[in-house]
């Protein structure tokens, strides 16, 4: 069972639960040096806030986001956020392909005075994964960046073939196509081979 901090528990027990989102997108490429300008941080609060020494931009155009939810079954439901791309920042990155880039979504709570709890133990990580389906949607009023994160169970779609041959087991063992000379497990996989097995008590 997940244990919440006293501040979070107090916020959840209130008659009205006020919460906010912190979203972090990392557009740095794996082989490039890390650039701070390539990391985008958004909040749906009306002002900038600092969490873990990082500034999250308020009124940043965060247009739509999935609410945090718990599932009691294994499913493949993905996480989606929609951001109004006011100055073409995200669309520029999307043209350079952002599939596979990191995305983190946290949710925090407001106290009775409307101030956010910003201690790390009071802010919950509700999604961490990779951008899977970025889509640009243009309307007369807005240009929207729709970012869908990979489902935690996305690997259920993965297909991994297994070659049941001596060469196949050699490649799997990291040796070469000739196989590991000490691995004889697949030596007779295509041959008719009879062996005698003692069955029962000896």
Chain segment 80-108, per-residue pLDDT in tens? 888 887 667 778 888 878 888 888 889 99
Task: Report CA-CA distances (Å) from 113 to 18, 86, 87, 95, 109.
Answer: 11, 31, 33, 42, 11
> Which of 26-40, 103-117, 127-141 shows the highest mean pLDDT?
103-117
Q: Taking Cα atoms as reference points, which of 117, 92, 91 lies closest to residue 14?
A: 117
Residue 154: Cβ-neighbour burial (10 angstroms; 0-12, 13-18, 19+): middle
C-alpha span between 65 and 45 (Å, rounded): 13
Q: What are the boundaries of each domain within the chain?
A: 6-154, 161-202
Entry pTM: 0.65
C-alpha span between 33 and 45 (Å, rounded): 31
Other residues' Cβ atoms within 10 Å of the Cβ of residue 128: 14
User: Binning pLDDT at 50, 70 and 90, where does residue 32 land?
Assistant: low
C-alpha span between 30 and 36 (Å, rounded): 14
- Mean pLDDT, the chain, integer: 76
pLDDT tens-digit series, residues 138-154: 777 778 888 888 765 55
C-alpha span between 80 and 135 (Å, rounded): 11
Take residue 157 and report the two structure tokens written for it: 């779609």
67 or 22: which leads in pLDDT: 22
13-22, 81-90, 108-117, 148-157: segment of lowest average pLDDT: 148-157
Q: Which residues make beta-bridge pairs with 124?
A: 107
Take residue 95 and report the two structure tokens written for it: 């043209």
pLDDT tens-digit series, residues 53-71: 999 988 766 666 666 554 4
DSSP characters over 82-133: EEE-TTSHHHHHHHT--TT-EEEEEEEEB-TTSPBP-SGGGSEEEEEEEEEE
């Amino acid at each position: 069972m997940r244990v919440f901090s006293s501040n979070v528990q107090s916020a959840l027990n209130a008659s009205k639960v006020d919460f906010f989102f912190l979203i972090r997108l990392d557009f740095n490429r794996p082989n490039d040096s890390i650039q701070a300008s390539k990391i985008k941080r958004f909040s749906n609060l009306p002002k900038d806030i600092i969490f873990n020494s990082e500034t999250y931009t308020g009124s940043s155009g965060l247009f739509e986001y999935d609410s945090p939810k718990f599932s009691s079954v294994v499913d493949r439901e993905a996480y989606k956020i929609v951001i109004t791309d006011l100055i073409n920042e995200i669309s520029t990155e999307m043209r350079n392909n952002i599939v596979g880039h990191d995305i983190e979504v946290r949710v925090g709570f407001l106290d009775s005075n409307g101030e956010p709890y910003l201690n790390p133990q009071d802010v919950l990580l509700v999604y961490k994964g990779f951008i899977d389906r970025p889509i640009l949607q243009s309307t007369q009023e807005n240009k929207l960046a729709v970012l869908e994160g990979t489902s935690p169970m996305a690997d259920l779609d993965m297909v991994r073939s297994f070659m049941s041959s001596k060469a196949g087991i050699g490649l799997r063992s990291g040796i070469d196509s000739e196989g590991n000379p000490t691995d004889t497990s697949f030596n007779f996989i295509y041959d008719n081979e009879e062996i005698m097995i003692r069955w029962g008590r000896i």
